[in-house]
A and B are shown apart, each in its own frame.
Chain A
Amino acid sequence: MLDTRYRVEIPGGINLEAQVVGPIPRCFAYAIDLGIRGICILILSLVAIPFGAFGMGGGLFLIVLFAIEWLYPVLFELFWRGQTPGKKLLGISVINDDLSPVTLGPSMVRNLLRTVDFLPLFYLLGLISMLSNRRFQRLGDLAAGTLVISLPQSAKAVVIDDIAPLAPSIALLRTEQSSVIDFLQRSQQLSVPRQQELASILDGVTHDKDDDGVDRLHRIGAWFLGVR
């Protein structure tokens, strides 16, 4: 089954999950970072020119340019929970491939190997590498053992009033419970006939038809959400 999910089993037998991120969001994040770096360099050069473009100002400028080019992603990834400003805006972040926070070594490696990914022009090798594995890792990621994942967004709370909760009469698995909750929370987006259709799938279980079935499922969903 195709999915962007990436799963790691840690020694306690617990599965950690994350959603890997493909080239398009990463291109955007990169473009934003590139813009930010460009603006920084522009301002710096404006400051540096009065000090003499080939003298001291020029020298300092080149040093700072080097630092911005090479340390910008590393420092941000280390001290900002794996996110550069571009990644922050896109809600994605760099992480070790065992889903622990990214550390100095891997971050250094993945950002130094940008040069390789950049070859022959504009990250072509990086793009090919991303598309040739399931976790969208570019060469730097493969070498460093890192991943880019999207951070889970907090779901909007749905206000449920005037629904009388109803305890389910049978035991449901956790996935089934969350589907029933989904059925309630997404009832605004679903058309009424579709809701009836979905509820009628369960008429062997709920013994209710049409509107009664929908209603019963809503009430059970409210119960699962903790309304009493």
Chain B
Amino acid sequence: MNLDKLQINACTRSGWQAIDLGFLMARAWWRQLFLSSLVPLLPLSTILLIVFSESPFWAVLIIWWLKPFWERLPLYIASRKLFGEEPDIWSHMKSLPLKDSLPWLLWRRFSVQRAFDNPITVLEELIGGTRRQRLRVLHGRHSDVAIANQLVCFCCEILVAFGLLVMFDFFTPESFGIEFYNNFNDLSQTGEWIYSLAGILAMTLVMPFHTMAGFALYLNRRIELEAWDIEISFRNLANRKQQERTSMSTLVLALTLSLIVMLASPAIVEAAIDHDRESSRQLIESVFQGEDFGEERTQRKWRFKDWSEEVDDETFPEWLIDFFEWWEDNVDFSDDLSGAAFWFKILLVVLFAGLLIYLLRRYRGPLSRWGRGKARETAPEVLFGLDVTPESLPEDVPHQVMRLWAEGDYREALSLLYRASLSRLIARYELAFRASHTELECAALVRARGIDSLSDYFWQLTSIWRKLAYGHQLPETEAIRDLCNDWVTELSDEAK
């Protein structure tokens, strides 16, 4: 077993995903799997159909009963294909096809997870107690999915058979006079033959998928139990480290050499860089001239016209008059029943329209927000680590700020001013700050509010705050005093 050549992506999957992988395997190796079950089956079914030519259903039953055997060769082929080898069918034919056959034909024929158990007989060649033990380990997971696999594939066989029959019926002219699904109890001889052939064909068509799905479940279980994925990854890691170690010495040599060259002649290096620049510019231009860029496309779509003339509201619309005239002429009020039916129709239409309008009104909120993300959140209490609740602020903010500034507590002073501003902005202007916003995003939101003096003020405050907080650049005392004065006009309680 050489995991380097494994043809599937080894990772742990759920049972359903393993089945899907099995279907992909069946697709990939479809031709060989299909032929390998068809080739032994063809001569046998011919013989059986000739022997039971009077009642071909017996032939189908026997072929169906022998199914475990038809599945062995495809399974063997898949097990070789899995590791990228070409299967050696003849040596396999000599040794295996009949191994452990009696149980498989008698009681195990009714096993509901045959495809899952098959690899143990065919590939691991276990029998008796060891087989039972192995099965106990394997059945620790995926048993349910294996049963589901068998169930669905059985249904698929039936539906494929009947589908083929109906298709056949679609495409045969009526003059042929083949009637085969009108009366199942009283089939003609031709009818029976057609049913039988469809049944055998459906069995061979579905078999590769069923077998591969079971095989994939088995593989998935082994990947889990033996950690194939971890082994592959560890091997790659070991190889990578090995290569790094060998290439390290060459790398050191190369680096030393290039360093010497660089030190020796800066002019050469300069030229090399220039050359590099030139060639990459050319490369960029050639990329831009490629198909992916500079493509022009014409798109057409419908849109509403501009109606230049307004409809005159004053006159009574002509069609409404017509409608009422038609109404008088056509509605027969004398006949109770038809009248009732008519009114009922009208009622339904009105009800439906009402329902539609109600639904549109009821869900207009969600509909207009369609695809636009969540509803607004409540105002945050903390922005970038600053407490912005109104309760946390002192009475006279500018005074407090200037006091702190005078005491040399610069960061404390400016942060108080900044968070007081944020708090006021949230409280008074109901700006939609979110805890995830940055300072600049907040400033942009204030700008979007459209009050010029306020946005200028806040922008200035933000930039000074950022310089102090992150850049550790102390602003002039004059600037702080200006900010405090402006704060009174822009944001304090007295400001309008």
Inter-chain contact B227/A186, CB cutoff 8 Å:
yes
Stretch at the interface among B163-171, B275-283, B301-309, B388-396: B163-171
Binary flags per residue of A189-224, CB closer than 8 Å to B gives 1, else 0: 110001000100110110000000000000000000
- Say yes or no: is A81 at the interface (Cβ < 8 Å to chain B): no
A-B pairs with CB below 8 Å: how many? 128
B interface residues, how many (CB within 8 angstroms): 47
A183 proximity list for chain B (CB < 8 A): 227, 230
Q: Do most interface residues of chain A lie in helix, strand or loop, or is the interface mixed? A: mixed
Docked complex Cα distance between A127 and B7 (Å): 25
**Bitwise interface map of A from 133 to 144 toward B, beta carbon under 8 Å scored 1, else 0:** 010100000000
Contact between A122 and B227 (Cβ–Cβ < 8 Å)? no
Whether the pair A127, B156 counts as a contact (CB closer than 8 A) is yes
Residue numbers in A under 8 Å from B229 (CB-CB): 179, 182
Give A32 Cβ to nearest chain B Cβ, in Å: 12
Given contacts A24-B148, A190-B227, contact A2 B21 (CB under 8 A): yes
Asked if B233 contacts A179 (CB within 8 A), the reply is: yes
B185-226, CB under 8 A of A: which get 1 and which 0?
000000000000000000000000100010000000000111
Q: Which among A127, A176, A186, A189 is the interface contact of B237 at CB below 8 angstroms? A: A176
The answer to whether B21 and A201 have CB atoms under 8 Å apart is no
Contact of B227 among A2, A153, A198 (CB under 8 A): A198
Number of A residues contacting the other chain (C-beta, 8 Å)?
45
State whether the Cβ of A170 lies closer than 8 Å to any Cβ in chain B: yes
Chain B 11-36 against A: per-residue CB contact (8 Å), 1 yes, 0 no?
00110110111011101100000000
| Chain B residues, Cβ within 8 Å of A170 | 241
Given A24-B16, A131-B27: A198 in contact with B152 (beta carbons within 8 A): no
* Residues from chain B with Cβ under 8 Å of A1 in the complex: 7-9
Interface string of A36-79 (1 = CB under 8 A from B): 00000000000000000000100000000000000000000000
Residue pairs across A and B with Cβ atoms less than 8 A apart, 6 shown, are A1-B7, A23-B152, A28-B148, A121-B163, A122-B163, A183-B227
Q: Which residues of B contact A (CB under 8 A)?
A: 7-9, 13-14, 16-17, 19-21, 23-25, 27-28, 148-149, 152-153, 155-156, 159-160, 162-164, 166-167, 170, 209, 213, 224-227, 229-231, 233-238, 241-242, 344
